[in-house]
Chains A and B, each alone.
Chain A
């Protein structure tokens, strides 16, 4: 296996993009990544498209074939990868393996989702279709509902409080306000979402004990990377970012069948594999993008990855350890909470944000000083399929 680098990265602003269809989103992000790599009018060997819902949300199938046509990339190999909300990182993993094996040299991976084509009801139902059809889905359980049940247990076991969750939301929206690609670009105040009389209207419960501001928005968006063997990376114009490690693990479909439902085993395993492959430990990581579809997940993942011991992730937020300039800056992009969560795009967007960090391309106020290593966690289902990467700044 040969080392693989990310030699191009691109994104489009996430949010409600009424004028663009799914193919537009995928095409624009891909072009941004191709241009970033300086590929000009050159082609690629293979294309991996991460997408979860084209069939259900946009009534379109075979989006990878449609995309190579839009981009005039024929006769490149092309396929779509559907792996729930972990589709993005799954697609990068597949591209990585294809280049590492020596089979392909230059690979485009793009993730995108067009979720605002349908009503909020339908989007919620679409995401809920990941749950077990007869043991869970029929009850009206939603992903926020799953997260609510998980939060209640996490609070009981580790003493996490609503205040801890609120601080994650405030931190991530503060960073999102600085990110031109973020869906939610407004800051929130403690008063506005907790203390004031109007916080009951602004921040109602969505899936008790989670409130509106604990939950990521439903977004349209896309992000893309170009992969190439590290020994070819000099041919491209930007500082390469090496995929130093990756890991992936699965867990039971139903939360109730986990011996300890607060234990996100797949997060631990995937991140441990990624760190071991990179020969690094959690304390070696400069910056992390964790899958905060719900505020509780940022805290829980920060512990499961090993940045903090179990039960200490919540206090770490209060102590500012996860802020820019802290011990381990988490979700400097604003995370899913502020960047948004177009499900197929998220895993790729996390990696794009880390690439920008490791190239030191971000403006002051967002750039982690001298960042050398990054870690991502892309969390599928309710933790039943998790992919993690460790990235390292190349020469």
Chain B
């Protein structure tokens, strides 16, 4: 399969610089309505995570790891994490963002962030 680009857009307030993800119609800090679209940059730091066993309808896996990580330019985003045991992960560790199928909804592949732990 072709290597996929991280297809996420974050929004930086033109007035005060606050970075938002996902989109808001008004800035959470200053209520500004104009944003520059920015791409998440570099690797990310893991903020928190959970190994989830009781999965919603549409998942065949026994479990998934989901977490939130912060990119080098301040974008924070949820994503799945490639891991088999919580012991493999530590808060604050560096994870490498990749883009892939995270879920199938109504027979269609849905793409999203998949973080790969790197020490």
Per the bound structure, the CA–CA distance linking A122 and B55 in Å amounts to 9
Given contacts A140-B66, A149-B49, A149-B67, contact A256 B57 (CB under 8 A): no
Contact A124 B102 (CB under 8 A): no
A132 to chain B: closest residue by CB: B22
Least CB distance, B25 to chain A, in whole angstroms: 13
Per the bound structure, the CA–CA distance linking A119 and B79 in Å amounts to 26
Given contacts A141-B66, A204-B53, A257-B20, contact A252 B28 (CB under 8 A): yes
Among the listed A135, A144, A149, which residue makes an inter-chain contact with B21, where contact means beta carbons less than 8 Å apart? A135
Per the bound structure, the CA–CA distance linking A135 and B105 in Å amounts to 15
B103 interface residue per 8 A CB criterion? yes
A154 to chain B: closest residue by CB: B48
Contact B102 A139 (CB under 8 A): yes
Contact B78 A207 (CB under 8 A): no
Given contacts A134-B22, A256-B77, contact A122 B57 (CB under 8 A): yes
Contact A152 B51 (CB under 8 A): no
Given contacts A140-B66, A140-B103, contact A256 B54 (CB under 8 A): no
Q: Name the A residues within 8 Å of B80 (CB-CB).
A: 139-140
Given contacts A139-B102, A140-B103, A255-B68, contact A149 B48 (CB under 8 A): yes
B38 interface residue per 8 A CB criterion? no
Given contacts A207-B50, A256-B68, contact A121 B76 (CB under 8 A): no
Q: Name the B residues within 8 Å of A153 (CB-CB).
A: 47-48, 91
Beta-carbon contacts under 8 Å, B15-64 to A = 20-22, 28, 47-59, 64
A276 interface residue per 8 A CB criterion? no
Least CB distance, A295 to chain B, in whole angstroms: 15
B107 interface residue per 8 A CB criterion? no
Q: Name the A residues within 8 Å of B106 (CB-CB).
A: none
Total of A-B residue pairs, C-beta within 8 Å: 113
Per the bound structure, the CA–CA distance linking A303 and B52 in Å amounts to 27
B112 interface residue per 8 A CB criterion? yes
Number of interface residues of B (CB under 8 A): 34
A261 interface residue per 8 A CB criterion? yes
Contact A152 B20 (CB under 8 A): no
A262 to chain B: closest residue by CB: B48
Q: Mark A116-152, 1 if CB is under 8 A from B, else 0.
A: 0001111011001000101110111110111011111
Per the bound structure, the CA–CA distance linking A120 and B53 in Å amounts to 12
Q: Name the A residues within 8 Å of B54 (CB-CB).
A: 120, 124, 142, 144, 206-207
Contact A135 B55 (CB under 8 A): no
B93 interface residue per 8 A CB criterion? no
Given contacts A145-B50, A153-B48, contact A139 B68 (CB under 8 A): no
Contact A139 B51 (CB under 8 A): no
**Chain A interface size, under 10 / 10 to 19 / 20 to 34 / 35 or more:** 35 or more
Per the bound structure, the CA–CA distance linking A208 and B59 in Å amounts to 18
Contact B48 A261 (CB under 8 A): yes
Given contacts A156-B91, A254-B78, contact A142 B52 (CB under 8 A): yes
A159 interface residue per 8 A CB criterion? no
Q: Name the A residues within 8 Å of B103 (CB-CB).
A: 138-140
A325 interface residue per 8 A CB criterion? no
Q: Name the B residues within 8 Å of A142 (CB-CB).
A: 52, 54-56
Contact A207 B51 (CB under 8 A): yes
Contact B53 A140 (CB under 8 A): no
Contact A205 B48 (CB under 8 A): no
Among the listed A132, A140, A207, which residue makes an inter-chain contact with B102, where contact means beta carbons less than 8 Å apart? A140
Q: Name the B residues within 8 Å of A145 (CB-CB).
A: 50, 52, 66
Q: Mark B64-108, 1 if CB is under 8 A from A, else 0.
A: 101110000000111110000010000100000000001101000
Among the listed A125, A135, A141, A206, which residue makes an inter-chain contact with B53, where contact means beta carbons less than 8 Å apart? A206
Most chain-A Cβ atoms within 10 A of its Cβ — which of B52, B64, B67? B52
A135 to chain B: closest residue by CB: B22
11 further contact pairs, Cβ within 8 A, besides A125-B57, A140-B52, A256-B76: A120-B54, A121-B57, A135-B22, A138-B103, A139-B80, A148-B50, A148-B52, A149-B68, A207-B50, A256-B21, A256-B68
Nearest first, the 5 A-B pairs at minimum CB distance are A148-B50, A125-B56, A208-B51, A135-B22, A121-B57
What are 6 pairs between A and B in contact, CB < 8 Å?
Answer: A121-B55, A121-B58, A124-B57, A254-B78, A256-B21, A256-B78
- What residues make up the interface of A, taking CB atoms closer than 8 Å to B? 119-122, 124-125, 128, 132, 134-136, 138-142, 144-146, 148-153, 156, 204-210, 252, 254-257, 261
- What residues make up the interface of B, taking CB atoms closer than 8 Å to A? 20-22, 28, 47-59, 64, 66-68, 76-80, 86, 91, 102-103, 105, 110, 112-113
